[in-house]
C-alpha cells in the first residue's frame, strides 16, 4: 500500500511517500517551508495559502521523481501542528491569516471570559467547574484557540460575520483536498470544547455558547482513522495524484508523534524536540492538572489519552542561538573565515558541527543556565510575559558554554515536565526521544543525563509525525488491527542512551536553580513585557 503523509509543522511541511507491507519503508520525501509572522503585540500568524503552496510544490516534486509510485497512491493522511485558528467561509476559503498556537493577543478576551466573578484558582468558579466536568479541561491559557476566536469576533467583526467554520491546520487542508469540513477528535479536544461526557464524539454546545462561541461554526467530529473522502478532480490534477486516493482525517502532532515514536501503550512516555517540545505520556483515563497547565489530549487510538506538557520554544532556542551566537550576523571581524564552508567533507550540517562543539564543554556549562522561554511559557506555569535568559555568566564564559547551556536549559524544562506529570500518573522508566533534536547523539545523551533515565531514539526521528499519519491510514484502510500492534511491528529502536552518573550531581544542583529563575524574575517580566498594561 502506498501512503502519502504530510507532516505540517510550524516552519514547514515534510511530505513523505511510504510503502507499507511487512515493513514501513520511506520511498522519498521533500520539505517545503513557509513563514511565521510575529507581531509586537503578541500576535503570531501564518498564511494558509503558503501551507497549500508548500504541499503542492513538495507533492509535485515527488510526482516528478517517483511517477509510478505517486500514480498509485491509495491513501493520504496528515500530522499537523495544533490549536491554530483558521476561519473559513462556505467555500473553504480562509477569511484571514491563521492565528498560530503561539498567538497570545487575546488576554482581554480571556480576562472577560474566565477571570471575573467568584473565582477558584483565579478563574470564574462556575465556568471552571463546568468546563472541567464537561470537557475535562479548561481554556486557562491566553494561547488557547477559543480566546483567539473571540478576539476575531471583538476586533474584526466584518470577518467574523462571514465565518462558516472554525478549523485547525490539517482540517483546513483536508477541506481544500476534499471539499468537506471535519475535525478529528484530538483536534476537537484541543479547542477544549469537546464533550467528553457524550457517548460518542460531540461538541459541548451549551458550554461553547456560555463563552460566546457559535456552535454552528464547529465542524463535524470524526476519528483519526476516518476516511473523509477522495480528492476533488481539480485538486487531483493540481497535485498529480489519482482522484481515487482516500484522504484520512489523521491527527495532530500531540497525538501522532507519539504513535510514530512507538509510544502507544498505557504509561509509555515520549519526548519531542522540534521547533516546539513536549513530554507526553499515554493514559487510559482523563487527567488534568489545572495549576500546572497539563491535561490529557484525546489520542488517535480511541480510548487512550496523552497527558501532555508543552514547551513552545525547544528547537527554536537552538535556532536562535545558532543565528545570534554561532554566526557572525553583524560582520564585526576584521578577518572572517566561514567555518561552515570548510565542513562539507566532515559534517552534514552546521548543527552537526555545533553538536561536536557542545560536547567539548563539560556538563553544567561552567555554571551557566539558560531559561528557554523565548515566546512566553505555558507549563508548568502560564505567563505570556516570561522571556529567555542566560544566567550566571562570568568572565570565563564563552560561546561554547552558552551553546551547551541552551541544550541543557531545554532539557531542564523537559525534566520539570516529566516530574510534574509523575505527580499525577505513572511515567515510563525509559523515554522515547524523537524530533530533530534526537538526531544529535550529544543532545540525546545530555537529555538522558538530565532526566536520570534511559533514552531511546528510533530510525528517522525527524519523520515520526509522518510515520504516525501513515500508521493511522493503515488502521483506517484495515491493513492493521490497531495502532499498538502496528507500532510494535513497524517502529524500531535504533539507539539507546544510559545516564552518566558522574554528571548527575551537577545537573541536580543546576536544575534546582533553574526552577527558581521564573519565580525570582516574574515581576520583572511583567514590568518589561506586559503589552496590555495601561500606558
**C-beta of residue 427 within 8 angstroms of C-beta of residue 455:** no
Measured distance CA(517)–CA(391) in Å, rounded: 9
Q: How many CA atoms lie within 13 A of 514 on its CB side?
A: 28
What pLDDT score does 179 carry? 97
H or E element, residue 466: helix 464-476
Pairing of the two strands 430-434 and 389-391: unpaired
**C-beta of residue 186 within 8 angstroms of C-beta of residue 113:** no
What pLDDT score does 290 carry? 82
Measured distance CA(439)–CA(422) in Å, rounded: 26
Which residue is associated with the grid cell 563539560?
A: 362
Measured distance CA(182)–CA(443) in Å, rounded: 38
The alpha-carbon radius of gyration of the chain (Å, integer) is: 23
Q: What domains does the chain contain, in order, with CATH numbers?
A: 2-249 (3.30.420.40), 259-529 (3.30.420.40)
Q: What pTM did the predictor assign?
A: 0.85
Measured distance CA(383)–CA(386) in Å, rounded: 6
What pLDDT score does 350 carry? 59
Burial of 528 (0-12, 13-18, 19+ CB in 10 A): exposed
Measured distance CA(439)–CA(83) in Å, rounded: 27
Which regions in the chain score pLDDT beneath 50? 333-336, 340, 343-345, 533-535
Residues with Cβ within 8 Å of 516's Cβ and at least 6 positions away in sequence, in order, are: none
What pLDDT score does 230 carry? 97
What pLDDT score does 302 carry? 86
Which residue is associated with the grid cell 562543539?
A: 357
Pairing of the two strands 246-248 and 75-80: parallel
Q: What is the pLDDT of residues 272-319, one digit of tens each?
A: 998 889 999 999 998 888 888 888 888 888 889 999 999 988 888 888
Cell of 42: 503578541
Measured distance CA(98)–CA(249) in Å, rounded: 20
Residues with Cβ within 8 Å of 436's Cβ and at least 6 positions away in sequence, in order, are: 273, 274, 315, 461, 462
Measured distance CA(28)–CA(160) in Å, rounded: 41
Residues with Cβ within 8 Å of 235's Cβ and at least 6 positions away in sequence, in order, are: 176, 177
* 3-state SS class at 6: strand
**C-beta of residue 214 within 8 angstroms of C-beta of residue 191:** no
Amino acid at each position: 500500500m502506498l501512503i502519502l503523509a504530510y507532516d505540517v509543522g510550524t516552519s514547514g511541511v515534510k511530505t513523505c511517500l511510504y510503502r507499507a507491507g511487512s515493513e514501513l519503508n520511506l520511498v522519498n520525501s521533500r520539505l517545503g517551508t513557509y513563514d511565521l509572522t510575529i507581531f509586537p503585540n503578541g500576535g503570531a500568524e501564518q498564511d494558509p495559502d503558503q501551507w497549500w503552496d508548500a504541499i503542492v510544490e513538495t507533492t509535485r516534486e515527488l510526482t516528478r521523481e517517483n511517477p509510478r509510485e505517486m500514480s498509485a497512491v491509495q491513501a493520504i493522511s496528515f500530522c499537523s501542528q495544533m490549536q491554530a485558528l483558521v476561519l473559513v467561509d462556505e467555500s473553504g476559503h480562509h477569511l484571514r491569516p491563521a492565528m498560530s498556537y503561539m498567538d497570545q493577543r487575546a488576554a482581554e478576551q480571556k480576562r472577560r471570559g474566565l477571570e471575573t466573578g467568584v473565582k477558584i484558582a483565579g478563574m470564574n468558579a462556575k465556568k471552571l467547574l463546568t468546563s472541567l466536568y464537561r470537557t475535562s479541561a479548561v481554556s486557562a491559557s491566553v494561547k488557547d484557540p477559543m480566546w483567539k476566536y473571540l478576539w476575531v469576533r471583538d476586533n474584526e467583526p466584518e470577518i467574523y460575520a462571514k465565518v462558516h467554520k472554525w478549523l485547525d491546520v490539517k482540517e483546513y487542508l483536508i477541506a481544500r483536498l476534499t471539499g468537506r469540513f471535519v475535525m478529528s477528535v484530538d483536534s476537537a479536544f484541543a479547542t477544549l470544547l469537546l464533550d467528553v461526557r457524550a457517548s460518542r464524539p460531540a461538541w459541548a454546545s451549551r458550554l461553547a455558547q456560555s463563552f460566546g462561541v457559535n456552535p454552528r461554526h464547529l465542524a463535524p467530529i470524526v476519528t483519526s482513522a476516518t476516511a473523509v473522502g477522495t480528492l476533488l478532480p481539480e485538486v487531483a490534477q493540481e497535485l498529480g495524484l489519482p482522484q481515487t486516493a482516500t484522504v484520512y482525517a489523521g491527527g495532530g502532532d500531540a497525538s501522532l508523534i507519539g504513535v510514530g515514536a512507538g509510544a502507544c501503550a498505557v504509561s509509555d512516555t515520549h519526548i519531542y524536540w522540534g521547533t516546539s517540545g513536549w513530554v507526553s505520556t499515554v493514559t487510559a483515563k482523563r487527567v488534568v492538572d489545572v495549576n500546572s497547565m497539563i491535561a490529557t489530549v484525546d489520542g488517535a487510538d480511541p480510548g487512550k489519552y496523552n497527558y501532555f506538557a508543552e514547551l513552545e520554544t525547544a528547537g527554536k532556542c537552538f535556532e536562535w542561538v545558532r543565528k545570534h551566537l554561532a554566526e557572525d550576523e553583524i560582520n564585526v571581524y576584521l578577518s572572517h573565515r566561514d567555518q561552515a564552508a570548510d565542513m562539507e567533507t566532515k559534517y552534514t550540517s552546521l548543527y552537526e558541527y555545533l553538536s561536536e562543539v557542545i560536547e567539548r564543554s563539560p556538563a553544567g556549562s561552567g555554571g551557566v543556565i539558560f531559561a528557554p522561554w523565548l515566546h512566553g511559557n505555558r507549563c508548568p506555569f502560564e505567563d505570556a510575559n516570561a522571556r529567555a535568559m542566560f544566567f550566571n555568566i562570568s568572565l570565563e564564559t564563552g560561546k561554547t558554554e552558552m551553546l551547551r547551556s541552551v541544550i541543557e536549559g531545554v532539557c531542564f524544562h523537559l525534566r520539570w515536565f516529566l516530574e510534574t506529570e509523575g505527580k499525577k500518573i505513572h511515567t515510563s522508566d525509559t523515554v522515547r526521544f524523537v524530533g530533530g533534536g534526537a538526531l544529535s547523539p550529544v543532545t540525546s545523551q545530555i537529555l538522558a543525563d538530565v532526566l536520570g533515565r534511559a533514552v531511546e531514539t528510533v530510525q528517522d526521528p525527524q519523520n515520526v509525525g509522518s510515520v504516525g499519519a501513515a500508521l493511522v491510514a493503515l488502521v483506517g484502510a484495515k491493513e492493521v488491527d490497531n495502532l499498538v500492534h502496528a507500532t510494535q511491528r513497524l517502529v524500531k529502536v535504533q539507539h539507546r542512551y544510559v545516564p552518566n552518573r558522574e554528571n548527575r550531581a551537577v545537573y541536580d544542583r543546576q536544575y534546582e536553580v533553574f526552577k527558581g529563575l521564573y519565580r525570582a524574575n516574574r515581576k520583572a517580566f511583567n514590568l518589561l513585557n506586559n503589552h496590555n498594561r495601561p500606558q
